[in-house]
Structure 1
Amino acid sequence: MGNINFDIIIIGGGATGSGIALDAASRGYKTLLLEKNDFSEGTSSRSTKLVHGGVRYLEAAVKKLDMDQFNLVKEGLKERSRLLKNAPHLCSKLTLVTPLYKWWEVPYMFAGLTLYDLISGKRALGRSSIVSKDKMMQKFPNIKKEGLVAGVKYYDGSFNDARLNISLLQTAKKFDAICKNYNEVESFNYKDGKISGVEVKDRISGETITYNSSIIINATGAFSDKIRVLDNKKAKEMLDLSSGIHIVLDKKYLPLEEGLMIPKTQDGRVLFILPWMGKCLVGTTDEKTILNERPEVTKKDIDYLLKHLEIYFDLKIDESEILSSWCGIRPLVAAPKSASTKSIVRDHIITSSDSGLVSIIGGKWTTYRKMAEEVVDYAILKFNLTKNECVTKKLKLVGSENLNKEQSINFVSKQTTKYLISMYGDKAQDVANSVELIEKLHKDYPLINAEVIYCIKEEFVQKPLDFLVRRSSLTLIDKNSSKEILDRVLDIMKKELSWSEEKLEKEKSEALSILNTYI
């Protein structure tokens, strides 16, 4: 890399770390981001795909007169608006409908959602309204009809989390940030009791490198406590971990581009049934868990979601109909031992150790930008950096700077054009230009061979699942189809990355092991 000295080093390449890298680099600080796996491989690619203020937090705020909850909603709605403007190719308005089965719920829910609109102010995405019983049955023919009295409609945002993560990193690169996946921090270096750098192992080459900086930011999400203990063995835990799973079903279960939100299941949880990438996304569970690099989807969680689908739909869905499923771990700020994880406010805390390690604990995707701004401001004050103002509030992310959703792209069909723009924004033509002959990778999906090459050259892809799971999201919507094109993806990668046959077989074995076990 030429120079191993940096103003700021960030550990963690998910939503929070990538946001911090962009904020720091765009202020002019020499920035390095290190991620031990692929970018957004953990929680940041396993969300419910919603950009939201948090309707359930608002209900809690009103019931308990809790200003912390209220401010969390207000902040979330501000950041929702910014995200929709700064990355319109990856974020969009989403209509959500809640079915109601008791008359008293109609004014109650409508009043709450109207307040949600009022808090949004000029940033509101639409006005909430009551939906009649007949209209509900027309819109959602499979919905449980017995006892249905009406519904309420409101608006939030939807987004592609893994691709947004990459867009953040690409934008950070424009400001000269260096972003490295598969680089694991193994230890810290110290000078006079203060952190002075990190020892890092490149998990692809096996090389160990030292990078120097007095400002190290721990933004590793669910692994935050683990990094804090690496710095100080006596560090106390600051996280409560909660696992949540999602399942993907055929679009026939949600034929409209409108989602359903069940605000309170039998055990008080929130359930979403959402349109996503041409499929039906259902989630999520909420269970206390322990740290796991690749958390597994359990039969208990699958049964929970299928059971609740039966409660709210006049149909029985067989487990064999699940196209894909995944589990993520939410990093929640630790609460009193008596609290359940679903009652914890997903806010965040910024703290530092005696040696100077800065850690950000908790948070959620919607507020990643605000969190990043606060962390960099914290570092500026703590380490007496020259103060440069944050510029990310109105900063267009890569893919959205010259976006024209109606443009045509040479060499591809209208369907493929629409798909490429939705994934790569104004870089869609660059993707198409990556190969001389464009070919589809799978007969049922618009993926093309050019994407693999582009993602290797521009989007940090080093392993087949980097592309299949996180750049294209194919594995997340159809596991079997991604297995079908694995060999084609591997052949392209072998050529582009000059792999030996032995390397190819090793990567294939590793990919199949993960596909069969975790995704």
Structure 2
Amino acid sequence: MLSSITRPKVKQFMRDYQFDLLVIGGGITGAGIALDAVTRGLSVALIDMQDFAAGTSSRSTKLVHGGLRYLKQFELKIVSETGKERDIVYHNALHVTEPERMLLPFHKGGTFGKLTTAAGLFVYDKLAGVRKEERREMLTAEETLEMEPLLKREGLLGGGHYVEYRTDDARLTIETMKKAVQKGALCLNYAKMEQFNYYNGKVVGALVKDMLNGEMFSIDATVVVNASGPWVDEVRKKDEMSNDKTLRLTKGVHIVIDRIKFPLRQAVYFDAPDGRMIFAIPRGKKAYIGTTDTFYDGDPARPVATSEDIDYLLEALRYMFPSTIVKREDVESTWAGVRPLIYEEGKDASEISRKDEIWEADTGLLTIAGGKLTGYRKMAEHVVDRIVDRFPSQSFNPCVTEQLRLSGGEFDNEEHFQSFLDSKTNEAGLFSLSKEEGRKLSSTYGTNVDILFNYAHALSVEKSDLPLSWRAEIMYGIHYEAVVTPADYLIRRKGALYFEIDHVKQYKEAVINYMANLLSYSEEEKKRYATELDLQIQIAEGKE
């Protein structure tokens, strides 16, 4: 289990055991590497200085998409590989990904015309191996407006309709991590790599600091992989013999608006006034719009949506949906993420390739950078292929992750998942939950939901200011998802800060008090976690 209760035991194992592989970084890339490696038969330890998915992996556009925009840059390999990976990610995690029909309107003088849209989507279908029922459909202007009446009518020539997949990026990361742990990996959040250990000039592990209590301990490993995302260069600077590759960080911002204010029916991929492509995506009662693409030189742990970022997205929204009156005060929440891209001389933020790259220092330190959320599994496969080459005298299993269901995703197909949801919705009342709560929990936690139902049943007798489903989630989060702080739960396990910010503000004190009792926070910890959560709320509201 990925439990915060067993931290001392996990640290002891990490301290005492010689691992084949140490992964630095607990985002989607690191989690994917840990899962691939452990299923091939390597012994694996993984650490992250923050919570799992606290960096880029909880701050993306939350799409498992094939990269249609890369056709414009003729990056056909990226389109082909990520398009195929999209389908694999979907089927291995049906509970955290779902098909999202995307509308690509084209206007006179826009980035895409009728012929380029039709040709682009045709090539996309072929390269990405899109299933027959999900292939593109070309629409007239009238059909396009019927699908999304808010669209700009002036100059509208028609639209393309195709399928992408929406996901919860942080939950995709945590389900990957949980599967790795289930298979035997040891994973620890709030554990920072302070310095590398060397033997004969080669990296053979690291000295690690427990960020919760300051304790130092050492992890020995034959191979060390740096998968720390925006912190890749910072980690490499601690190596004696790093090379001259460098990252260029870019920032992407998203804003969230209630659909009462912006009644978006249909996900749209559209031209901003400056020619950039922007997504507007409905999600429950909200819609989110993004993303920006600007160079970023600040703290990767604290990227903020500035007034300029928010104004840019609002201007793009008004440009494509001119009948919508959306003001700055209608933006309920925001998030900003940092992309770790490989530096390319003379290119602006939007032009830098999203391709991933692996490089190796003379000390043996492997580093992976770049890439997209969609391609995480294939990136991991490439990295682990390199790792197993370091063990020439040992034989390992082949890569199995293409067919490996993630934690909570043990479904045969979409029909099985839908019947599961219907069954669990009806079952919820037996555990003192409403049908709505039962369906939401089942669609979030998949085949793990029975554990939450049992927690809910046991907790239903206690008096609390928190909804029963929240209490069940917190209990599950602590015991199965390494939840340590209220922010871990509210932001990265539940996603509530971005899409239910009013509920976060309503229940934050109750969440802090409830977790303080369960995890025996000291008064100092309780204050620190409350301050951290307040800061995250301010950042989300664009008030930082």
The aligned counterpart of 2:361 is: 353
Q: Do 1:238 and 1:361's aligned partners in 2 also have CA atoms closer than 8 Å?
A: no
Deviations, residues 250-289 of structure 1 (Å, cap 9, x unaligned): 1236656630001x43323110001224310100000011
The answer as to whether partners of 2:342 and 2:370 remain within 8 angstroms in 1 is yes
State TM-score, norm by structure 1. 0.93
Amino acid at match of 2:451: D
The TM-score, its normalising length taken from structure 2, stands at 0.89
Would the aligned equivalents of 1:4 and 1:210 in 2 still touch at CA under 8 Å? no
Identity of aligned residues (%): 36
Match of 1:65 in 2: none
Q: Which residue of 1 aligns with 2:480?
A: 458
Contact 1:201 1:208 in 2 (8 A): yes
Partner of residue 500, structure 2: 478
Partner of 2:85: 79
Gaps of 5+ in 2: 1-11, 412-416
Q: Which residue of 2 aligns with 1:13?
A: 26
Report the CA distance between 1:480 and its aligned residue.
3.7
Does structure 1 residue 327 correspond to structure 2 residue 336?
yes
Count of matched residue positions in the alignment of Structure 1 and Structure 2 = 508
Of residues 96, 99, 112, the one that matches 1:90 is 96
Contact 2:147 2:265 in 1 (8 A): no
Q: Distance in 2 between matches of 1:341 and 1:482?
A: 33
SS in 2 for 1:85: helix
Residue 331 of structure 2 aligns with an amino acid whose one-letter code is I
Query: Aligned pair in 2 of structure 1 residues 382, 248: CA closer, same or farther (>3 Å)?
Result: same
**Aligned partners of 2:218 and 2:46: how far apart in 1?**
13
Greater Cα offset, 152-161 or 408-417: 408-417
Where 1:342 maps in the other structure, the secondary structure is coil
Question: Which of residues 289, 295, 300 is equivalent to 2:296?
Answer: 289
- The 5 Å alignment of 1:26-41 reads 26-41=39-54
- The 3-state SS of whatever aligns with 1:485 is helix
Q: Distance in 2 between matches of 1:509 and 1:515?
A: 10
- Partners of 1:413 and 1:9 lie apart in 2 by 43
SS of the residue aligned with 1:504? helix
| Structure 2 residue matching 1:367: 3-state secondary structure | helix
1:161-240 superposed matches below 5 A: 161-232=169-240, 235-240=243-248
Report the 3-state secondary structure (helix = DSSP H, G, I; strand = E; otherwise coil) of the residue aligned with 1:405: helix
Alignment partner of 1:305 is 2:303 = no
Q: CA deviation at 1:441?
A: 7.1
Q: In 2, Cα distance between the equivalents of 1:441 and 1:398?
A: 30
Distance, in Å, in 2 between the alignment partners of 1:157 and 1:49 is 9
Letter in 2 for 1:21: A
Shift of 1:122: 5.5
Report how far residue 512 of structure 1 moved: 1.2
Deviation (angstroms), 1:177:
0.5
Q: Which amino acid aligns with 1:513?
A: L
Provide Cα deviations, 1:72-120, integer angstroms capped at 9, x if missing partner. 1110111111011100111111100022222982232122112212223
Q: Is the 8 A contact 1:253 1:280 kept in 2?
A: no
1:425 aligns with 2:452: no
1:241–1:288 CA contact under 8 A, matched in 2: yes
**Hey, what's the Cα distance between the residues in 2 that align with 1:323 and 1:518?**
8
Bigger mean CA deviation after superposition, 451-460 or 115-124: 115-124
Shift of 1:352: 1.0
Where 1:58 maps in the other structure, the secondary structure is: helix
In 2, the alpha carbon distance for the partners of 1:479 and 1:217 equals: 36
Q: Distance in 2 between matches of 1:8 and 1:294?
A: 29
- Contact in 2 for aligned 1:242/1:287 (Cα 8 Å): yes
* Higher mean C-alpha deviation, range 224-233 or range 362-371: 224-233
Partner residue in 2 for 1:382? 390
Deviations 1:289-342 (A, max 9, x none): 11512111111100100011110112231111111101100011221x211121
Distance 1:153 1:339 in 2: 31
Describe the shift of the 1:210–1:427 C-alpha distance in structure 2 as closer, same or farther (beyond 3 A).
same
CA–CA separation in structure 1 for the residues paired with 2:58 and 2:401: 22
Q: Are the aligned partners of 1:89 and 1:424 in contact in 2 as well (CA < 8 Å)?
A: yes
Q: Could you tell which deviates more after superposition, 273-282 or 139-148?
A: 139-148
Match of 2:6 in 1: none
Deviations 1:436-457 (A, max 9, x none): 24499778xx952210111011
Q: Distance in 1 between matches of 2:438 and 2:147?
A: 29
Please tell me the root mean square deviation across aligned C-alpha atoms, in Å: 2.1
- Once residues 256 and 218 of structure 1 are traced to their aligned partners in structure 2, the CA distance between those partners, rounded to angstroms, is 41
State the 1:470 CA deviation. Answer: 0.6
1:469 is aligned to 2:491 = yes
